Amino acid sequence: MSTRPIVAAPSEAVAEVVFDATMQERVSDVLRRYPTTRAAILPVLWLCQERYGWISPGVVRAVADRLGESTAFVEGVVSFYTMYYTRPPARYVLQACTTLSCAWCGGRELVEHLKGRLGIDFGETTPDGTFQLVGVQCLGACGTAPVIQINDDYYERLDANRLDAILDELARRR
């Protein structure tokens, strides 16, 4: 299993963010792809999420400063999209598809099982910070329903047994 855990920087560590040389270089590399600096906002936010694990208010300010935008503008962009974590995520974010094909092909039962096993509801994290459960809309893998995305990876054609084995393995790794 290749799913890497998310390592989220503690809030204090990203209260104020200064991009180091590596980050600056990556940002410059992104900037040369577009005719405007504003177009780099989404890719730079991705670089930050990769680096810090989430988009803290400090990260938003750093991105805004680097790209010459207001904090409010960058914040507006961040809040429009669902994939930027605005709070430190758990090590494994379980994103269960709740849309039609998944829901009607075992997804509903799978979500019930997951909630029971983890003792949490959508939007919640297990007390040990290992798993976070999120209900998401269509992941575009309807032919292999039901599907759960764990961090960056898709897990398809799931049933309760397979999912349990996957979660056991992930939990053991911490």
Using CB under 8 A as the criterion, which residues of the chain lie in contact with another protein when the complex forms?
A: 33-36, 38-43, 45-46, 76-77, 80-87, 89, 93, 98-101, 103-105, 107-108, 111-112, 115, 122-123, 134-145, 149, 152-154
Contact 145, 105 (CB under 8 A): yes
10 vs 143 by CB, closer to another protein: 143
Q: Cβ of residue 113: shortest distance to another protein, in angstroms?
A: 11
To the nearest whole angstrom, how small is the minimum distance from the Cβ of residue 140 to another protein?
A: 5
Nearest to another protein of 40, 170 (CB atom)? 40
Tokens 């204090």 belong to residue: 12
Q: Which helix (H) or strand (E) holds 136?
A: strand 131-136
* Residue number, 109 or 168, with CB nearest to another protein: 109
For 170, the token pair is: 């992930």
Rounded to whole angstroms, the Cα distance separating 18 from 21 reads 10
Pick the closer one to another protein by CB: 87 or 162.
Answer: 87
CA nearest 6: which of 58, 67, 83? 83
Residue 84 CB neighbours (<10 A) = 18
Instruction: Give me the least distance between CB of 97 and another protein, in Å please.
Output: 8
